[in-house]
Amino acid sequence: MSLSTTRKLQQLLAQFSGSDHVLILINADPDSIASAMAFQRLLWRRVTRITVSNINTITRPDNMAMIRLLDVTLIHVTKIAPQDYTKVIILDSEPSHHESFREFRYAVIIDHHDPDNVEASFKDIRPEYGATSSIMTEYLKTAKIKPSSKLATALFHGIKTDTNNFERMATNADIRAFQFLFRHANIHLARRIEQVDLRMNFLEYFKQAIEHKVINEDRVFVHLGQVETPDICVLIADFFMRVNTVTWSIVSGFNQGRLIIILRNDGLRKDAGSVASKQFGELGTAGGHKSMARAEIPAETLKNHIGNPDKQVVQEWIINRISSFFSREAQDE
């Protein structure tokens, strides 16, 4: 491990004393949960107390399985008293990523997304990395800490998830971390976590999607109306991409006053992130990667734009927006 990483570890640990009460804040997903577990291990016996707090509501079955199977303890941010902590850490996110993060002053920020201009006593932000779990694995290795089976499994799963099994951006550092963790992880446990992505009540949405799908050439469209969680849209969009004739899957639903639109493609065609941004970005937030993207539009904004947003109207509007994009692109070619 390079000297610079050794210096970073020294600088990181120098932020803490034995009397510190440490709060780790995360937007809980596999990468952030694993990173928090690794940070807890780094500070083991170095501080008085460590609490990991999630700002989001955890609904994805695989995330719930990860927490249960790896014995992770999380406390929602609404149930903590910030004044009880002397140091606050943010992992796998930055303060601008969510309004709940902006209420705190940070001693440490470790992330792999594009950097903010926020101040912290210690920052390690590496946007070239595929996962924060890879950064945390480097710290463990530098500290000569052999991860437990559960910690290694968590980090292993975090890297796999954030790099989409190395199909998204990843570096040699991610690969080295993955190879190291492979020797210590419980692969059967990791596979169990990966395979848990459904709850029994989700099956009704799948039934609805299959019955009411609209097929336009090689594209599948489904609007589900109100959904319990946006994760349902993600699961169904991924499900339709497993059909051999489908090259695009666009699934939408309303959740917490917003229209969520999930786009998936086979990675060979147009850029999904570009399609989302161009067709929906002016009405809300939109973007993503070549093969996967997401748009979120406030319901009030949508109502002002299309009138009464009933199920059929919304479905037809999404189909027309996407189809018009492809029509324009075809004319330009």
Q: Which helix (H) or strand (E) holds 133?
A: helix 132-142
Phi/psi of residue 115, nearest 5 degrees: -75, 145
- Averaged pLDDT, 218-234: 93
pLDDT number for residue 2: 47
Statement: residue 177 has pLDDT above 80: yes
Q: Do 110 and 135 form a contact (C-beta atoms < 8 A)?
A: yes
> What does the pLDDT look like over 127-170, one tens digit per residue?
999 999 999 999 999 999 999 999 999 999 999 998 877 877 78
pLDDT number for residue 38: 98
Q: Which residues are CB-contacts of 262 (< 8 A; sequence separation ≥ 6)? A: 230, 233, 234, 237, 249, 250, 251, 252, 292, 293, 294
Task: Tell me the pairing of strands 248-255 and 219-226.
Answer: parallel
Sketch out the chain's domains with CATH numbers: 3-195 (3.90.1640.10), 203-332 (3.10.310.40)
- Averaged pLDDT, 204-218: 94
Grade residue 331 by pLDDT with cuts at 50, 70 and 90: low
Alpha helices in 28-70 (DSSP H): 30-42, 61-69
> What does the pLDDT look like over 43-92, one tens digit per residue?
999 999 999 999 998 988 889 999 999 999 999 999 999 999 999 999 99
Residues facing 264 on adjacent strands: 249, 292
